[in-house]
Structure 1
Amino acid sequence: MDPQRSSYDVVVVGGGHNGLVSAAYLARAGLSVLVLERLGHTGGAAVSVEPFSGHPARLSRYSYLVSLMPEELMRDLDLDVRLASRTTASYTPWSREGREGGLLVERPEGEATRASFRELTGSDDEYDAWRAFYGEVADLAQVVAPTLLQPLPLERDVRSRVDARIWDDVVTHPLGRAIESRFRDDTVRGVVATDALIGTFAALDDPSLVQNRCFLYHLIGNGTGEWRVPIGGMGAVTDALARAAAAAGAEILTNAGVSAISPGADGAEVTWHDGYRSRSATARRVLSGVAPWVLRILLGDGEDGGTKPEGSQLKINFLLDRLPRLKSGVDPEVAFAGTLHLSEDYSQLQAAYDAAASGSVPDPMPGEVYCHSLTDPSILGDRAGSAHTLTYFGVHTPAGLFERNHPARDRAIARALRSIDAVLAEPLADCLARDDEGHPCLEAKVPQDIERDLAMPGGHIFHGDLDWPWAPNRARLDTPAQQWGVQTDHDAVLLCGSGARRGGAVSGIAGHNAAQAALADL
């Protein structure tokens, strides 16, 4: 498909959810906008697919829940998207001294949550500590969340509005220090720690604090940190964004793999290939939704293997004929409705990190599972009521484990299944649906698969380590791009993807902020 013109106000490189958000805002402001997407469809990591032949179930293949997307952004763009709350926040099976149980955290928390803590720990002390800690985290979230769609605040301005203890615990010192000082139970500590490790390979005492930043982003969405279910799957979110961008007048080209961005005095030229020949267009501004590491290649700087990000996750999608029973005896529709933690005691997380850091696949494998179809049966099509999806997300599985080591992939999948089976009263294999060819309905993705499918370097789901969502006190904030945290080394090129400050996860925040910076300049 040919572009409608040779010159645009803005060319957006990448048709993921952030690129579409940028396009929608810019086109609504009356600018001419071209979106170039390498794949044959928009959406990037936020897509729904039917991976299993013979079954109409549409699974969220990569990203699968929404927390950080601001409700203000959804209202701005009139998105026809519904996000549903989960009745269970988390369930963590445990086995101690011959007893099988589970730590239940309801949403909202009630007496059953307190009783669950008491059954595990023998008193109310740990639950009181839990409520105190997360109450302070909520106060921090309510300060930070409203700033995410505004120019970057300075660190000192945020800090002045936050209680000193929670600032020290989350921002100043490694998160492990706070977890170990505030909680005593190994399982409770692990539940707290997991939000710091999603897509992030780090020890909880890592002095870089990358784990702290991951933790913060997982708990500040809309000031509540609630992770909600997109009705219709993740594809419904980006489909709505694509409609909003197109309705505003943005031009969207798929199968348009960008090969070069050439900045000039008054803008930049973007070159892409449409499958038949090379094309190009000029723009006053180019917004990049690709990872910064990839952007440097497009700008002609070449590959730098030493700075390439490294993802850390194992994603497995399942289709089940029925939910399995658990050893604890809990109703599966309660346990699987939220995040079900597996082999994620604090000591297990530490041991798994040490194993992976030494080049071994962790055993037991820490991870968590969740059943989308309990909250949204519409994704099952005509199998609603007779099937269920299950999503597994494994942590401490860095890309390096799988480099030139094909057995490691199979070993990681087997150990993930073993961790699941360890809490079940029946093997998961007995519940798996079969596709048209008789194969179990199981699809696994390691970081290398994500890099191949989505061009995310190293399979890093955040495009690189997350930054704090504020500017350092001595930061230069002279230009709109700097003020919004989307600057590059070239004035005409801005970051609009997960690699921008305040990027990461399915939020649209980076797309919004890049659009605001561009509008301030044009």
Structure 2
Amino acid sequence: MPATPAPVPTPAAQPGRPARRSRDSYDAVIVGGGHNGLVAAAYLARAGRSVLVLERLGHTGGAAVSTRPFAGVDARLSRYSYLVSLLPRKIVRDLDLDFRVRGRTISSYTPVERDGRPTGLLVGGGERRTREAFARLTGSDREYEAWQRFYGMTGHVAERVFPTLTEPLPTRDELRRRIDDEAAWRTLFEEPIGAAVESTFTDDLVRGVVLTDALIGTFADAHDPSLRQNRCFLYHVIGGGTGAWDVPVGGMGALTDALARAARDAGAVIATGHEVRRIATDGRSAEVTYRTTDMEGAVAARHVLVNASPQELAALMGDEPPAPAEGAQLKVNMLLTRLPRLRDESVDPHEAFSGTFHIAEGYDQLAASYAQAAAGALPDAPPSEIYCHSLTDPTILGPDLVDQGYQTLTLFGLHTPARLFEADNDAVREELLKATLAQLDAHLAEPLTGCLATDAEGRPCIEAKTPLDLERDLGLPGGNIFHRDLAWPYAQEGTGRWGVETRHANVLLCGAGAVRGGGVSGVPGHNAAMAVLGGLGHSS
């Protein structure tokens, strides 16, 4: 049983209500009630520590939430984070979470026009079907065989690397020995991923499908010498030890709701509507100052775990902030009365949209879009990808909508860095959304707008979020969904034992900006809790 925490004003535990000014003391105060903060809270409380979670918003979940964005419509969409790959089953088991995911039979569909006719590449539905799809597109088995070899290599790396994410950081040499494949190490860790894509595949469309995993939320060229694209690619292919991306049953909010229940059931106190303003520490004890809508308060803590960006951590501590890393994505949520018909009549829309539907993501198209955005212009053909949650999990829709055949669509646009929106966010958002949907319409037999549902006020059920919108709504620096550039999953100078340590001995970073952060994984929350429970060392 958890230790009895210090007295807490009753209102503090009630969502959205302010607490009186207090000097209560906790073993751990967690700043931010996103999924990583809730993971840390649940682990610490189950270990008998007194835990207080302070969340700025009126609800927990952060970016991993489900909401009803369209007025009067019973559709609960995963608003910001969509799919699950990096969440270890270990965390689900350890915390006894009532949470499930479902696999997708179709991995991806990528439409293209070849020789004046619409066609495409459907990956999934069994080995024979996928092989035949490659042969129809490229005229031979060569690309499929190259695909099998390449993803056999990444699968081997995933099996070796994924289990290390919830262990103390290995050294670079330890991880290299664990992978035990020098060609794979060179491909993923040492050379720009563009080199491997170009030497392995010859078809432009196939190359583009492979490269997209290196560009999700990461603004980079295939040959960027920083290898930020390689780090992004790595995290997108190691999830679960397989690289599979699954659908959260009930939406992403089902995960964070389960985590909040687990934390509360273990004895953690969760106070929403409490914005942390300052953290002061001498390395042994800390004071966390917060404010609500009508007052200020403070609590003492032995440890403070910050589920926010490194920039926000620096601001709270009065430290020099790290260099910013801007986000580069457009997020669009839609509700349709039915799925649109495709120009490629050989593919059922119910299959094409159930996996990842790639739009304007040929290899050369991705390079051209990056070059245009890097020069300060919106891409002429904005690349993006779509999937339909409700095809795999209709529980996010009300029974009436399911009976009528309604479906959701979630779009993630690439190569749209925050800087492009600074002059006029609203105007550029509308321009980009129009251009992005036009790229999709080019592969449809009917305009997408004709399939959009309307809300209770007659407005189309579509919403778009730019990096600046995400910065405003969620506190993501520059709208970066990873908080900063992703890091290699091995120890480097100053990273500490778990990759969550800061220069303050009793202050930990448990958000996406930690080493091995990014995505809906819970890994930084787990690792910060382990750092507390295992005896905390800190970086120099």
TM range (shorter): over 0.9
Shift of 1:54: 2.2
Shift of 1:234: 0.4
Letter in 2 for 1:410: E
Which residue of structure 1 lines up, in the alignment, with residue 116 of structure 2?
98
Which residue of structure 2 lines up, in the alignment, with residue 129 of structure 1?
146
Letter in 2 for 1:520: G
Which residue of structure 2 lines up, in the alignment, with residue 191 of structure 1?
209
Which residue of structure 2 lines up, in the alignment, with residue 57 of structure 1?
75
Which residue of structure 2 lines up, in the alignment, with residue 359 of structure 1?
376
Q: What pairs with 1:104-143 in structure 2 (closer than 5 Å)?
A: 104-106=122-124, 109-143=126-160
Q: Per the alignment, in what secondary structure is the counterpart of residue 214 of structure 2?
A: coil
Matched, 1:177 2:200: no
In 2, Cα distance between equivalents of 1:352 and 1:265: 47
Q: What pairs with 1:209-228 in structure 2 (closer than 5 Å)?
A: 209-228=227-246
In 2, Cα distance between equivalents of 1:58 and 1:380: 6
Shift of 1:437: 1.6
Q: Per the alignment, in what secondary structure is the counterpart of residue 310 of structure 1?
A: coil
- Gap regions ≥5 residues in structure 1: none
Q: Per the alignment, in what secondary structure is the counterpart of residue 412 of structure 2?
A: strand
Matched, 1:34 2:34: no
Letter in 1 for 2:421: F
Q: Per the alignment, in what secondary structure is the counterpart of residue 54 of structure 1?
A: coil
Q: What pairs with 1:210-289 in structure 2 (closer than 5 Å)?
A: 210-289=228-307
Q: Per the alignment, in what secondary structure is the counterpart of residue 260 of structure 2?
A: helix
Letter in 2 for 1:310: E
Q: Per the alignment, in what secondary structure is the counterpart of residue 393 of structure 1?
A: strand
Which residue of structure 1 lines up, in the alignment, with residue 498 of structure 2?
484
Which residue of structure 2 lines up, in the alignment, with residue 376 of structure 1?
393
Q: Deviation digits for residues 377-411 of structure 1, max 9, x if unmatched?
A: 11111311320000010000110110023432211
In 1, Cα distance between equivalents of 2:359 and 2:479: 23
Q: Deviation digits for residues 326-378 of structure 1, max 9, x if unmatched?
A: 00011110000000000000000000000000111111110000000000111
Please say if residues 48 and 235 of structure 1, whose CA atoms lie closer than 8 Å, have aligned partners that are also in contact.
yes
In 2, Cα distance between equivalents of 1:301 and 1:217: 29
Shift of 1:265: 4.3
Letter in 2 for 1:318: M
Match of 2:309 among 267, 275, 291: 291
Cα distance change, pair 297–232 in 1 and its aligned pair in 2 (3 A) = same
In 2, Cα distance between equivalents of 1:397 and 1:110: 35
Which residue of structure 2 lines up, in the alignment, with residue 328 of structure 1?
344
Moved over 4 A (4+): none
Shifted more, 497-506 versus 259-268: the winner is: 259-268
In 1, Cα distance between equivalents of 2:140 and 2:418: 41
Letter in 2 for 1:251: V
Q: Deviation digits for residues 94-153 of structure 1, max 9, x if unmatched?
A: 11111211201116x421100000001000000000000000000011110111111011
Matched, 1:423 2:443: yes
In 2, Cα distance between equivalents of 1:155 and 1:180: 26
Match of 2:524 among 494, 510, 514: 510
Please say if residues 283 and 505 of structure 2, whose CA atoms lie closer than 8 Å, have aligned partners that are also in contact.
no
Q: Deviation digits for residues 158-191 of structure 1, max 9, x if unmatched?
A: 1123311111111100000000000000000000
Matched, 1:404 2:420: no
In 2, Cα distance between equivalents of 1:426 and 1:119: 25
In 1, Cα distance between equivalents of 2:325 and 2:375: 18
Q: Per the alignment, in what secondary structure is the counterpart of residue 160 of structure 1?
A: helix
Shift of 1:521: 2.4
Which residue of structure 1 lines up, in the alignment, with residue 161 of structure 2?
144
Matched, 1:414 2:430: no
Please say if residues 502 and 509 of structure 2, whose CA atoms lie closer than 8 Å, have aligned partners that are also in contact.
yes
Which residue of structure 1 lines up, in the alignment, with residue 5 of structure 2?
none
In 1, Cα distance between equivalents of 2:394 and 2:284: 51
Matched, 1:319 2:335: yes
Q: Per the alignment, in what secondary structure is the counterpart of residue 318 of structure 1?
A: strand
Shift of 1:301: 2.8
Shifted more, 344-353 versus 485-494: the winner is: 485-494
Q: Per the alignment, in what secondary structure is the counterpart of residue 11 of structure 1?
A: strand
Please say if residues 377 and 385 of structure 1, whose CA atoms lie closer than 8 Å, have aligned partners that are also in contact.
no
In 2, Cα distance between equivalents of 1:399 and 1:267: 38
In 1, Cα distance between equivalents of 2:155 and 2:320: 43
Letter in 2 for 1:392: L
- Gap regions ≥5 residues in structure 2: 1-10, 13-18
Q: Deviation digits for residues 198-228 of structure 1, max 9, x if unmatched?
A: 0000001000000000000011111011101
Please say if residues 310 and 321 of structure 2, whose CA atoms lie closer than 8 Å, have aligned partners that are also in contact.
no
Match of 1:451 among 460, 467, 471: 471
Which residue of structure 2 lines up, in the alignment, with residue 156 of structure 1?
173
Matched, 1:385 2:403: yes
In 2, Cα distance between equivalents of 1:157 and 1:297: 35
Which residue of structure 2 lines up, in the alignment, with residue 14 of structure 1?
32
Q: Per the alignment, in what secondary structure is the counterpart of residue 484 of structure 1?
A: coil
In 2, Cα distance between equivalents of 1:353 and 1:514: 36
Please say if residues 341 and 445 of structure 2, whose CA atoms lie closer than 8 Å, have aligned partners that are also in contact.
yes
Q: Per the alignment, in what secondary structure is the counterpart of residue 488 of structure 1?
A: coil
In 1, Cα distance between equivalents of 2:403 and 2:78: 19
Q: Per the alignment, in what secondary structure is the counterpart of residue 409 of structure 2?
A: strand
TM-score (norm 1): 0.97
Shift of 1:495: 0.8
Which residue of structure 2 lines up, in the alignment, with residue 520 of structure 1?
534
Q: Per the alignment, in what secondary structure is the counterpart of residue 312 of structure 1?
A: coil
Letter in 2 for 1:503: G
Q: Per the alignment, in what secondary structure is the counterpart of residue 196 of structure 2?
A: helix
Shift of 1:292: 0.4
Please say if residues 91 and 103 of structure 1, whose CA atoms lie closer than 8 Å, have aligned partners that are also in contact.
yes
Shifted more, 34-43 versus 405-414: the winner is: 405-414
What's the RMSD between the two structures over aligned residues?
1.3
Q: Per the alignment, in what secondary structure is the counterpart of residue 18 of structure 1?
A: helix
